Amino acid sequence: MTFIPSSDSTSARPHSWMALAASVIGGLLISVHAAAQEQVLNLYSARHYPTDEALYSNFTKATGIRIARVDADDAGILARLKAEGAASPADLILLVDAARLWRAEVDGLFQPVKSPALEAAIPANLRAKAVEGGTPWFGLSTRARVVVYDKLSIKREDVDTYEKLADPKLKGKLCIRSGSHPYNLSLFGAVTEHLGPEKTEAWLKGMVANMARPPKGGDTDQIKGVASGECAVALTNTYYLARMMRSGKPEDQAVTEKIGVVFPNQSSWGTHVNVAGGAVARYAKHPQNAVRFLEYLASPEAQNHFANGNNEWPAAQGVKLSNPALQAMTGGSFKSELIPISAVGMNQVKVQQMLDRVGFK
Ligand code: FE
């Protein structure tokens, strides 16, 4: 049976089909567009390393989820989250210190995440202790806090433990940044976990007595202080040193040639390691996108990029990193401490009281 259109329908029928098709396609376009609008991740990040950019755009390419980013330091992000409360647009938070991550958790700024992928990737000691509903935050990369020293005037064996920084032998030779800076607070919190509060307080007192000048500046300033002769020993996070080692600038080369680096406590509890990590914001409007991004950051590809870009180490298990500066610094590998990273935060109040008592500014 063949369909023979009536004379008037020859023009009308195709027209109505086209109209129908157009309206269906139009409807599809509208819903696709609406979905695209929802594919957003609002990221508050304390990571300010230009090398992370490629990572964010790779995620968008792979998932279609656009990242809207707010950059601030750890303290700025915590203050903003508190001020915004339930109205906060933040979905995912990236911070660069374990004690700050712990603080934000305690202040109720995160929501716990249940993700088998993240739990398989990130070792238990580098993530928050699980609570009801999941894990509040995950370490995503690690950085070691190491000793740098003047190769000409200091013997390596005199500075190969954190404890030795308090030895009267080093009187007037120590450069250090503020005791209240998160990197030092976290180190001191870790030492408290290893040695107990009494020995830690005596150690802090000894370091105050050894200071070449009152605490000031950032980690890079301490490294430069050793190179310039202002002091002979200092503490720094590894990536600041690696950055100088990889820099093409002659002035940076001149600095790194003068200094030795030691990963402290290799024959005892290991070198203190801090984390940069991530969490889903308590009032996230796109929590699924946030978890997806966290899982992406824990993937081998992202881990390598994330860590190598800023000369850190991957936090995910089984991810190997090849970074010439870190290789040169460690000679291959080093022993890191194995305390639960949350302990560092839990000791903060105690540490701050000890600093006040010994006059460590
Ligand atoms: Fe830093």
**Average pLDDT over all residues of the chain:** 90
Please check whether the two domains, 37-141+274-325 and 143-271+341-358, share a CATH topology: yes
Q: Distance, CA 73 to ligand 1 centroid (Å)?
A: 10
pLDDT band per the 50, 70, 90 thresholds, residue 36: very low
pTM exceeding 0.85 = yes
Write the pLDDT tens digit of every residue in 255-304.
Answer: 999 999 999 999 999 999 999 999 999 999 999 999 999 999 999 999 99
Write the pLDDT tens digit of every residue in 119-177.
Answer: 999 999 999 999 999 999 999 999 999 999 999 999 999 999 999 999 999 999 999 99
Supply φ then ψ for residue 229, to 5 degrees: 90, 0
Superfamily (CATH) of domain 143-271+341-358: Periplasmic binding protein-like II (3.40.190.10)
Q: Over 70: is that where the pLDDT of 348 sits?
A: yes
Q: Distance, CA 80 to ligand 1 centroid (Å)?
A: 20
Q: Give 234's DSSP letter.
A: E
Q: Distance, CA 28 to ligand 1 centroid (Å)?
A: 47
Query: Strand ranges (DSSP E) for the chain?
Result: 40-45, 66-71, 92-95, 110-111, 138-150, 174-175, 233-237, 259-262, 273-281, 313-314
Spell out a b/e string for 79-95, using b for 16 or more CB atoms within 10 Å of the CB, else e: eebeeeeeebebbbbbb
Share of the chain above pLDDT 70, in %: 89
Write the pLDDT tens digit of every residue in 189-204.
Answer: 999 999 999 999 999 9
Per-domain boundaries in the chain = 37-141+274-325, 143-271+341-358
Q: Distance, CA 29 to ligand 1 centroid (Å)?
A: 45
Q: Distance, CA 214 to ligand 1 centroid (Å)?
A: 20
Q: Distance, CA 345 to ligand 1 centroid (Å)?
A: 17
Superfamily (CATH) of domain 37-141+274-325: Periplasmic binding protein-like II (3.40.190.10)
In DSSP notation, 65-133 reads: -EEEEEE--HHHHHHHHHHHGGG----EEEES-HHHHHHHHHTT-EE-B--HHHHHHS-GGGBPPPBTT
Number of separate helices (H) and strands (E) present in the chain = 15, 10
For the chain, give the number of residues. 361
**DSSP H or E stretch at residue 155:** none
